C-alpha cells in the first residue's frame, strides 16, 4: 500500500473538491495521503478534511510565498489528532523578501519543536540557506523532509547525517532528470519518501500524466528501475519511512 506524502487537496486549488476526495478514497492501492497547507486558510481546511476523511492526514503551515499578513501563532489552534506535521514551510528564491521568509521559517520550526512535530520543507534554490538556518538559528528536533527535493549531493549528505528525509515527486520522471537520477542512486533506502504534490507537478517524460495520488505508481516505478529494487519493496520502504517521520500516522 502506497502513502502519498504530499498533496494539496483544498478548495483553493481544486475545482471539484468533493469529487476529488471521493476519487482518492476509492483508490485501493493508496493507504493514505498527507494533505499540506499553504496558509492559515488552507491549513484549516486540510485539518478539517483529515478529521472526516479516513485516508487523509494533514500538515499545517505557512508557505514562503503566502507569508503576507499571516499569523504563525494561529497554527496552534489548528492541531488535531491527524495533523502530523508543520508545513509546508521554507524559503523560495523567486521572491526578494528573504529576511521575512527566514523569520517565518524560524518561527514555524520553533512551533513544530514545541508541538513535537516534524516539518515539511519547501526549498526553491535555497537548500544551502535552509541548512545555514538549521545550523545557526534553529534545527527541527522531530525530523524533517525536503519535499520535491532539488538535487544537491552535498545537501543530501547533510540530510542523511541528520537522519532527515527527502521526497521524490513527478520531476524524477522527466527527460531532464539527470541530477535527480544521481540522487536516487545515492540516497539510502531509509531516507526517502514519495509524493505527487498534487495537483501541481505533472508526471511522465513529456509531462503528459496528471498529478494526482492515483498516479503515484509512476514515481515509484521510476525509483524501482533506477535503484534496481522491486516495485513492491519500494512501496513498503516509502510507506514505512513516511510513518517513521510522521509518527502520528497509524
Per-residue pLDDT of the chain (250 residues; tens, 9 = 90+): 999 999 999 999 999 999 999 999 999 999 999 999 999 999 999 999 999 999 999 999 999 999 988 999 999 999 999 999 999 999 999 998 999 999 999 999 999 999 999 999 999 999 999 999 999 999 999 999 999 999 999 999 999 999 999 999 999 999 999 999 999 999 999 999 999 999 999 999 999 999 999 999 999 999 999 999 999 999 999 999 999 999 999 8
CB hemisphere CA count around 236 (13 angstroms): 5
Q: What share of the chain is helix, strand, coil (3-state, %, to 5)?
A: 45, 20, 35
Looking at domain 2-245, its CATH superfamily turns out to be Metal-dependent hydrolases (3.20.20.140)
Sequence spans of domains, the chain: 2-245
Q: Measure the CA–CA gap between 5 and 119, rounded to whole angstroms.
A: 12
**Overall size of the chain counted in residues:** 250
Q: What is the reported pTM?
A: 0.97
Q: Measure the CA–CA gap between 242 and 236, rounded to whole angstroms.
A: 10
**What nine digits make up the cell of 111?**
512551533
CA dihedral 239, 36, 13, 9 (to 10 degrees): 50
φ and ψ at 97, to 5 degrees? -90, 55
The bridge status of strand 56-60 relative to strand 83-92 is parallel
Q: Measure the CA–CA gap between 94 and 77, rounded to whole angstroms.
A: 30
Q: With contact defined as beta carbons under 8 Å apart, do 89 and 119 qualify?
A: yes
Q: Measure the CA–CA gap between 104 and 91, rounded to whole angstroms.
A: 9
Amino acid at each position: 500500500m502506497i502513502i502519498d506524502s504530499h498533496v494539496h487537496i483544498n478548495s483553493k486549488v481544486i475545482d471539484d473538491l468533493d469529487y476529488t476526495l471521493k476519487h482518492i478514497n476509492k483508490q485501493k492501492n493508496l493507504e493514505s495521503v498527507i494533505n499540506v497547507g499553504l496558509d492559515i486558510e488552507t491549513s484549516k481546511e486540510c485539518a478539517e478534511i483529515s478529521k472526516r476523511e479516513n485516508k487523509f492526514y494533514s500538515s499545517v503551515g505557512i508557505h514562503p510565498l503566502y507569508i503576507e499578513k499571516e499569523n504563525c501563532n494561529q497554527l496552534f489552534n489548528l492541531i488535531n489528532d491527524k495533523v502530523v506535521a508543520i508545513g509546508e514551510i521554507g524559503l523560495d528564491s523567486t521572491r526578494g523578501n528573504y529576511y521575512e521568509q527566514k523569520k517565518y521559517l524560524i518561527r514555524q520550526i520553533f512551533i513544530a519543536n514545541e508541538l513535537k512535530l516534524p516539518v515539511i520543507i519547501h526549498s526553491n534554490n535555497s537548500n544551502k540557506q535552509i541548512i545555514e538556518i538549521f545550523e545557526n538559528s534553529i534545527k527541527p528536533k522531530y525530523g524533517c523532509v525536503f519535499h520535491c527535493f532539488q538535487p544537491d549531493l552535498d545537501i543530501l549528505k547533510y540530510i542523511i547525517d541528520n537522519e532527515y528525509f527527502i521526497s521524490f515527486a513527478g520531476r524524477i520522471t522527466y527527460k531532464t532528470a539527470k541530477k535527480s537520477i544521481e540522487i536516487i542512486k545515492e540516497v539510502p533506502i531509509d531516507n526517502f519518501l514519495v509524493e505527487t504534490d498534487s495537483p501541481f507537478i505533472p508526471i511522465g517524460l513529456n509531462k503528459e500524466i496528471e498529478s494526482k495520488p492515483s498516479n503515484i505508481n509512476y514515481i515509484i516505478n521510476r525509483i524501482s528501475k533506477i535503484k534496481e529494487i522491486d516495485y513492491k519493496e519500494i512501496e513498503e520502504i516509502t510507506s514505512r519511512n513516511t510513518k517513521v517521520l510522521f509518527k502520528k500516522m497509524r
